[in-house]
Amino acid sequence: MNEVIEQLDHRSVINSFSEQVNTQVQDILLNVRTYKYRDTERLDLTNLKTYTIDDPEAEEIDDAISLEQNDGINTIWIHIADPTNFIQENTAIDLEARSRATSIYLVDKIIPMIPKELTIKTLNLTNSKECYALSAGIKLNEDGSVIESFLSRSIIKPTYRLTYQDAEDLIDLAPKEENDLALLNQLLRTRSDWRKKNGALFIEAPEGKYILNQDTLCIRITDNTKSRLLIKEAMILMGSVVAQYGVEHNLPLPYRGQLNLQIPNIDSLNAFDNINARNAFIRTCLFGAQTSIKPAPHKSLGLNSYVQSTSPIRRYNDIIVHRQITNHLDNKPTYTDNELQILLDKLARSIDRANERVKSNNDFYQQEWFKSNKNKIVTGYFLRWINPLNKIALIYINQLCMICSSKVLKPNNPQPGLNIKMIIKSNDIDRQNYMLVAD
């Protein structure tokens, strides 16, 4: 397996960074105080009790949340790491990050957009350290709509670094001396309800992915716990607030829009007796969101406008958002429509290449998993044809909590929701490639 992995590593993306980039990283690390004190007009939010919540193995800690309570008024604070103070535009680090466009998460490794050492030592929202962020303060109505919001460059000091399980326990137990997360959960659930009333789709389901555990290929299934949904809702709220700022100030940003949903009819949905498979079926029917420099509704989120802005350590588009917002706040020049469109077009090509690499890597490990489980029976649900002539369909696999392709020989005209059994078989003479076959 390792030889094949090494071959995959040489496709299209360079894993290491240039000497010029590494030299700049060391300069920032050696002179971090100079870089920090260059910016003296940040809102001091170090007094807030601030939580970062992530998986135990996460290396990019780029978001945090807080709750401020004054005279019975709750303010939700969402903080996003601000690498733009340290990574100046058109420097070697910036140009390399722009070329990569995104961090690439493979089964066997992560290829970062920004050098790992800089992320861990300076950019991350690190527990008990003063960190630079872009923060949003948000007040909600009782129905979950936004009463008031504002954005500011900030300095924060994360109080706790929690895993999702740690956060889940605090939400469930809600101890009097540590009930901020339970209150935030209530507020953000109200926000979820508001989006649902505005047409948002909630089609979460347990999600499986391939992982390597000491070189052993395994399946990790992630459930949609309260803590994960809390963070997801907070990040969507941040994207809504950033988009609203752009709309109000006629600021070009990489808005994400989804004008049509194309939800399957109710008869098709009722054919599923498994909610996870049904939600997977809905996802396969949805139109993908599109990026534009002009705001547009995002139907499945139930929002009039939306901007991804919460992962600037791993998405260059989000760095662009931070620069646009902070430059506008500081009355500095921002990208024009034309400048931003040219930049986004170039990034889109790099993002496509990265997505192709992720797919290739995942396909490889799917074959490895099939090979190690050959002749085993798995169960799932027919979703839809992808190549009816060759009898290839999309199937939701119960054991994997994944959507995979399968050859479906019988029945001749399966309908969405059909519960089927499949066997893992080789599909070539050399028995090197395997697939699911339902007969």
Dump pLDDT digits (tens) for 267-318: 889 999 999 999 999 988 888 899 999 999 999 999 999 999 999 999 999 9
Find the mean pLDDT for residues 41-57: 94
Pair 45, 121 in one domain? yes
Pair 180, 208 in one domain? yes
Residue range of the domain that includes 213: 2-254+293-368
Quick check: bond before 411 cis, omega within 30? Answer: yes
Tell me what pLDDT residue 286 has: 87
Tens of pLDDT, residues 345-373: 999 999 999 999 999 999 999 999 999 99
Q: Is the model's pLDDT at 5 over the cut of 60? A: no
Tens of pLDDT, residues 179-230: 999 999 999 999 999 999 999 999 888 999 999 998 899 999 999 999 999 9
Tell me what pLDDT residue 146 has: 98
Tell me what pLDDT residue 433 has: 79
How large a percentage of the chain has pLDDT more than 70? Answer: 94
Q: Is residue 283 part of a domain?
A: no
Tell me what pLDDT residue 8 has: 39
Tell me what pLDDT residue 107 has: 96
Tell me what pLDDT residue 37 has: 53
Is residue 77 within 8 Å of 45, Cβ to Cβ?
Answer: yes
Residue located via tokens 């137990």: 173
Closest by CA position to 78, among listed 230, 194, 225, 235 = 235
Final residue in a domain of this structure, among 334, 352, 368:
368
Pair 384, 429 in one domain? yes
pLDDT confidence band for 426 (50 / 70 / 90): confident
Tell me what pLDDT residue 434 has: 82
Q: Token pair for residue 290?
A: 């599109």
Quote the mean pLDDT of the chain. 92
Q: Token pair for residue 37?
A: 């004190």
The single-letter DSSP state of residue 112 is: -
Angstrom distance (rounded) from CA 278 to CA 416: 9
Q: Is the model's pLDDT at 335 over the cut of 90? A: yes
Taking the CA of residue 114 as centre, how many other CA atoms within 13 Å lie in the half-sphere pointing to its CB? 30
Pair 32, 92 in one domain? yes
The more confident residue out of 215 and 144 is 144
The more confident residue out of 266 and 79 is 79
Angstrom distance (rounded) from CA 436 to CA 427: 9
- Provide the CATH number for the domain around residue 418: 2.40.50.140
CA torsion sign for 74, 79, 85, 90 is negative
Q: Is residue 33 part of a domain?
A: yes
For helices 316-329 and 226-248, the axis angle rounded to 10 degrees is 50
Q: Is residue 276 part of a domain?
A: no
Q: Is 113 exposed, middle or buried (0-12, 13-18, 19+ CB in 10 A)?
A: buried
Pair 391, 419 in one domain? yes
- Cβ contacts of 59 within 8 Å, gap of 6 or more: 110, 116, 119, 120
Pair 336, 383 in one domain? no
As for how many domains the chain has, the answer is 2
Final residue in a domain of this structure, among 315, 343, 368:
368
Task: Give, in order, the Cα–Cα distances in Å from 136 to each of 66, 159, 427.
Answer: 10, 18, 53
Tens of pLDDT, residues 98-121: 999 999 999 999 999 999 999 999
> How much is the pTM?
0.93
Q: Is the model's pLDDT at 438 over the cut of 50? A: yes
Tell me what pLDDT residue 35 has: 63
Pair 247, 394 in one domain? no
